[in-house]
A and B are shown apart, each in its own frame.
Chain A
Amino acid sequence: MNTLEFSVLLFAVSGLAGFLGALTGLGGGVVLVPALTLFFGVDVKYAIGASLVSVIATSSGAAAAYVREGFSNIRVGMFLEIATSLGAIGGAYLAGVVTTSFIFIVFGIVLIYSAWLSFQRRHQEEHRSETPNRISKVLKLDGSYPAPDGSQISYCAEQPIWGFGVMGIAGVLSGLLGIGSGAVKVIGMDHVMSLPFKVSTTTSNFMIGVTAAASAGIYFSRGYIDPALATPVMLGVLGGSLIGARHLMDAKVKALRTVFALTIVALGVEMLYKGVMGGK
């Protein structure tokens, strides 16, 4: 296979990864790194470098697509971003010292966990408690967002310290695996801090790009970002995710989500197996 064929194939596979990642909300990174390493035989650190770049592209692209950011909370995002960006730098350094097997095993666990989560997505907007947390008040981790009927629904973050800790883990995973860790970020904001789901998802999207940029810098200066590999991947994922975002409301998407979740489980098992067998 020559460079042109390789690049075109890479572009196509990345486009599919971006499309499915946008439909499921898991992001392209979770399928990209396994696809690059398992099917294209790319060294895992090159794969992570290329994936990080595409994560920045989709995060910024998606945010630009729904600019009406009435839902995202910039203070919550910036407070938690301290944890994710420092975690991401730590994770990027960690990737430099651990073995390929270790990366494969952690990746496998995260894939299976993400798939399990995507089966469990909630549909209702449940009741939120109005007891203001003292730390959250000081840090101004509250706000309001527009309800469908035009009124404003106010909220206040709970357990900010725990949320901060979960975000640190999300950052480490992002730097170590080259993924956006959107699923972990939403858990932190949605489950731990009890923020409304729409606020969690849009704020998470803002944070993903910043977190990925924090680890991408380390990968860049270490030489893990190969432009000839990262370019077709980034263009493919960006194009695929923009198309995917437009089909979020389609009826056929539900079945596709199930197929995608099963694919992720299969990739996760394969990554785990390779990791246990020594990353070969």
Chain B
Amino acid sequence: MIGVLLRVGVLLAAFVVAVGAAIHLSAFATTAPDYAKFSLNRERGLTTIPGVIAGAIKLDGRSVMQFGLLLLIATPIARVMFSLIAFLHEKDWLYSFFTFIVLSALGFSLLAR
């Protein structure tokens, strides 16, 4: 069950980023890349979840890739959620609480500005 979740998560993410890469490369294959210097907020749309989804709907290559990467980040988060449900089902309140802390940390990291 957990194994299926992880496999589907990773394969789906890999598929989405591959599609995004194809769109991106079809447009920018011959331009020169520049990753030597980091510039903050160069593309605001790629640093928020709504921004990424909005770009992905328009089939912007970079946004589609970023959406796939977000799916990948969501995979372990989903796994922790399933653990929380399992601990709650077992009425193991201590571990439900522990898992909730971990889940909160993951949520904070993704949503904190």
Determine if A56 and B25 form an interchain contact, defined as CB atoms under 8 angstroms apart.
Answer: no
Contact (Cβ within 8 A) B98 A82 = yes
List A225-255 residues whose CB lies under 8 Å from chain B: 225-232, 234-235, 238
Best-buried of B24, B37, B41 by chain A (most CB within 10 Å) = B24
Give the CA-CA distance A46 to B46 in the complex, in Å: 14
Q: Does A161 contact B (CB under 8 A)?
A: no
Shortest C-beta distance, A77 to chain B (Å), equals 9
Q: Give Cα A92 to B112, complex, Å.
A: 12
> Do B35 and A46 touch (CB < 8 A)?
yes
Cβ distance B75 to chain A, nearest Cβ, rounded Å: 5
Chain B CB within 8 A of A45 CB: yes
Given A59-B76, A64-B10, A67-B3, A227-B105 contact (CB < 8 Å): no
* Interchain CA distance A63-B82 in the complex, whole Å: 15
Given A4-B25, A43-B37, A60-B75: A225 touches B69 (CB 8 Å cut-off): yes
Within the complex, the shortest CB–CB distance from A37 to chain B, in Å, comes to 10
Does A162 count as interface, using CB distance less than 8 angstroms?
no
Residue in chain A with minimal CB distance to B27:
A3
Beta-carbon nearest neighbor of A226 in chain B: B35
Contacts of B57-109 to chain A: CB distance below 8 A: 62-63, 65-66, 68-70, 72-73, 75-77, 79-80, 83, 94-95, 98-99, 101-102, 105-106, 108-109
Whether, in the assembled complex, B14 has its beta carbon less than 8 Å from a beta carbon of chain A, the answer is yes
A214 near B75: Cβ-Cβ < 8 Å: no
Kindly state whether residue A209 has any CB partner on chain B within 8 Å: yes
Among B25, B66, B69, max chain A CB count under 10 A is at B69
Closest to A52 in B: B73
Does B105 lie within 8 Å of A42, measured CB to CB? no
Complex formed: what's the CA distance from A271 to B18 in Å? Answer: 32
On chain B, which size bracket covers the interface?
A: 35 or more
| Contact in complex: A227, B76 (CB < 8 Å) | no
Task: Knowing A41-B36, A210-B79, say if A234 contacts B31 (CB, 8 Å).
Answer: no
- The smallest C-beta distance from B10 to any residue of chain A, in angstroms, reads 5
A223-B106 in contact (CB<8A): no
| A15 CB, nearest partner CB in chain B, Å | 13
Interchain CB contact under 8 A, B101 and A82? yes
Contact of B102 among A82, A212, A226 (CB under 8 A): A82
Known A-B contacts A60-B9, A82-B102, A221-B47; A231 and B30 likewise in contact (beta carbons under 8 Å): no
Report the Cα distance A234→B71, complex, angstroms: 13
List, in ascending order, chain B residues with CB within 8 A of A228's CB: 21, 24, 28, 33, 62, 65
Q: Cα distance A216–B109 when bound, in Å? A: 8
Known: A85-B102, A85-B106, A139-B94. A223 touches B73 (CB 8 A): no
Q: Please determine whether A86 and B105 come into contact, CB atoms closer than 8 angstroms.
A: yes
On chain A, the residues within 8 Å of B98 by CB distance are: 78-79, 82
Q: How far is the CA of A41 from the CA of B24 in the complex (A)?
A: 22
A31 within 8 A of B: no
Whether the Cβ atoms of B47 and A220 lie closer than 8 Å is yes
| Cβ contacts under 8 Å, A61 to chain B | 6-7, 10
Interface string of A58-86 (1 = CB under 8 A from B): 01110110010100001100110110011
Between A and B, 23 residue pairs with Cβ closer than 8 Å are A2-B29, A2-B30, A4-B29, A57-B13, A60-B75, A69-B2, A74-B83, A79-B98, A82-B101, A82-B102, A213-B76, A220-B47, A223-B42, A226-B46, A227-B65, A228-B24, A230-B69, A231-B17, A231-B68, A232-B21, A234-B14, A234-B69, A238-B10
A4-B29, A60-B10, A227-B69 provided; 4 other pairs, C-beta below 8 A?
A81-B80, A213-B76, A217-B110, A220-B47
